[in-house]
Every structure is written in structure tokens, then in C-alpha cells.
Chain A
Amino acid sequence: MAQGSHEASTNIGDKIIEHVANSDVMIHLELFGIDLSITKHVIMLWIAAGLLVTAALYATRRYRKEERPVPSGFSNAFEYVVDFVRTGILIPTVGKNHVLKWGPLVMSFFFLILTVNFLGLMPFFNYINHGHGGTTATGNINVTAALALITFFAIIVAGILEHGFFKHWKNLVPGGLPKAVYIILIPIEILSMFVRPFALTMRLAANMTAGHIAMLAIFAPIFLLHNAYVGVASVTLNVGITFLEIIVSIVQAYVFTLLSSVFIGQSIHPHH
């Protein structure tokens, strides 16, 4: 019995990991020696991108024609979120004059991450690829690493566009300090240059995965104990966690976007 329970819990652990991991390769694809196989997370990214592009194009249809459109309905709601990103994230970080230049990147970050995060809350993606888990693409560190790398290069490009190539690298450390300080400061600043995108990568992926793991762990006692009361408690608790995950999805999209925008802003306006 003891051994059986141990086996069951190991199975549960494997199930949880399997659930939150990417699927196996669904369509094998290789181009120039690079593995470009289609997996569940690639499909989820496409679905999210398709939904986002459709919704955004529909919402902004009048903005492309009129100079001062009066939005209503869905456009109004969409504009509210865009204006939130503009006034809440872009203007305080990159500054009013750079909104048009960096706004599209930052808004694409926010809306794509938000859409992908929300897809993870939809319970039907576990049917893609024979019941593998329904965790979302932003719960995969490869996806978040790719996004964070875009931020990493955007930070450098923003600094170079604003200050020129050499001035940008000089801006990384404050000027006018004793030489001894630079011996410590330069490695720290170089390190922080890489730590920041790494933190972005881990934060988003871990947060998006953690919710799924928590929910699965709460569901697990049902299968271990076969008890109706435990079932009621688990489901009730998970309904609450689902609401929590809605908030987490929004907050994590916001945090990734805000930090990316802050780093780009620091590159444009070095406070030294």
C-alpha cells in the first residue's frame, strides 16, 4: 500500500510536469539545419497572434481613416487599454517624444503576452496533441527568453539611436567617479545588462507555469484519496485560483511590458 501510494504520487508529479511542459513535436520541420518543428506552443502563439491581429485591426478600423475618431463599443474598450499602456507605461518611462517610436514594440509585447496568457486559462488546449497539458506558451522559457532577447536588443538599439554607438556604452556607467569604483561598477553594469532579460524570462515563465502547477497539485488529492469531499474542496479552491490566474495573467503581461519599457527608457534617458 505504501509503495502503491508512493508510485501514485510519483505518477502525479510526472503528470503535472507533463501537463505544464510543451508537447512533443507535432510536425517535424527543419530548415538550414535548424529544427523548426511545430509544437503545441507554436500553435498557441499563432492562435494568439491571429486573435490579436484580428481584434486589433477590427478595433482600429476607424483610426486608420479618421484623424480624430470617436470610438464606441469594442474600439472604445480597446482604446482604453492602449491608452493605459501609453499613459501608464510609455510616457513615464520612454517619455512623450518617444512614444511613437517605441510604442508599437511595447504595445505588441503587452497585447501578445496578455493574449497568450489568457489562452492558458482556456481549458481546451490540452486536447491539442493527445491530452498534453494546457499550459500556455508564455509558461515556456524558450518563448519568454525569445521575447526578453527582443527587449535586450531594443535596450541597446534605443541607446544607440538616441546617443550614438560609443556614447551608449559610456552611458552604462555614471561618469565622474573615482577609478577604483569603476573596477567594481563596470562588471556590475555588464552583469545587470544580462540579468535584466534573464529575470524577465524567468519571471514570466515561472508565474505562468506556477498557476497550472498549483491547480494540478490541488486536483491531485482527488485521484490519490478518491474522496468526494476532497473533490468538492479541490474544485472550490481551484475556481478561486482561476480568478487569481486572471489577475496574474494581466499583472505579468503588465510587469514584462513595464520593465521592458523602463529599461528602454533608461537607455534613452541615462540618469547619470
Chain B
Amino acid sequence: MENLLRFDTGLMIWTWITFIAVLVILATKAWKPMIKALENRENFIRESLEEAEAARHEADKVAAEYEVMVAKARQEAQAIVSAGKETAERMKAEILKEAQEKSAGILRQAEVQIGTEREKAIAEIRTQIVDISMAAAEKIIAKSITREDNERLIGDALKEYGKN
């Protein structure tokens, strides 16, 4: 038993020397480079994941924006079309109304003109009939009847004509 629990300073010192040699060599040559590499890799993976997440968010945002933009464009297009339609309708109505008014005006004017022309023609015809009749009567009857009789006869005849 004493063998097992024997105090051995030499062995302790050798243990320290060996351990410290291992520690000194491996601390700078093995452990630290490896710890740093592991941390670097961890950071790299985390950053990559974060970047991917950010990129995904950005893509989502762009897609959402695009959708909003498309919806807005569609709405605008619809508004433009409906505004165009409305303008066209209004213009059509205006043109129609104007045309109707114009045609009505022309019609009225024509009627008035026709009326005036008719009356003018009638008056002219009447004068010409009187003159022609007179000339004819003068030629036929010559001096058989006086001028007064003649005018009276024609006046009567015109009255009759006027009645008709």
C-alpha cells in the first residue's frame, strides 16, 4: 500500500514539465488555431444564415411591393379606361345634342325661308295674273268696257279666286 501512496516529488515535477511542455507547444500550434477556426466557421455559418434570412426578407418585400405596384397600375389603367369611356360618352352626348340643335335650327330657318318665298311667289303670281289678265282682257274686249268696269270685274274675279 505504501507503494501506491508514496510521495514522489520527482514524478510531480516531471508531470509539471511534461504537462507544461504539451501546453506550450499545443496552445499556439494546435488549440488556439483550432478554436479560432471553429469560431470562424460558427460565425461564417451564422452570418450566412442571417444573410440568407435578410435576402429572403428583401425578396419578400420586393415581391410585396411589386404586387402592390401591379395592383395600383391595374387600378390606374381601369381608372383611365373608365375616365376615357366617360369622356367619350359625354362628348358623344354633346355632339349629338349640338347636331340635333343645329339640324332643328336649319329646319326652322328653312321653314321660315320657304314660307317667305311662298308668300313672295304668291304675291308675284297675283300681280302677274292681274297684269296678264288685264292685258288679255284689253286685247279681247278692247274698248268695250271701261277701265273702271274692267278693274271691278277683275277685282271680283280675284275675290272669287281668293275665296278658292
Q: Which residues of B come within 8 Å of A, CB atoms?
A: 1, 3-16, 18-19, 21-23, 25-27, 29-41, 44
Contact = CB atoms under 8 A, between A and B. Distances in A.
B164 to A, nearest CB: 126
A49 B21 CA distance: 8
> Which among B27, B31, B33, B35 has the greatest number of chain A C-beta atoms within 10 A?
B31
Given A46-B18, A103-B31, A142 B8 contact: yes
Q: Tell me the interface secondary structure of chain B in the complex.
A: helix
B37 A112 contact: no
Contact of A53 (B11, B26, B34, B39): B26
Contacts of B15: 45, 137, 142-143, 146-147
Contacts of B16: 146, 150
Contacts of B33: 60, 63-64
Interface of A: 17-18, 20-22, 29, 34-39, 41-42, 45-46, 49, 52-53, 56-57, 59-60, 63-64, 66-69, 79, 82-83, 86, 99-100, 103-105, 107-108, 111-112, 137, 140-143, 145-147, 149-150, 209
A209 B6 CA distance: 14
Given A104-B26, A104-B31, A41 B3 contact: no
Contact of B3 (A18, A37, A79, A146): A18
A210 B21 CA distance: 29
Given A56-B26, A147-B15, A150-B19, A104 B32 contact: yes
Contacts of A145: 12
Contacts of A68: 37, 40-41, 44
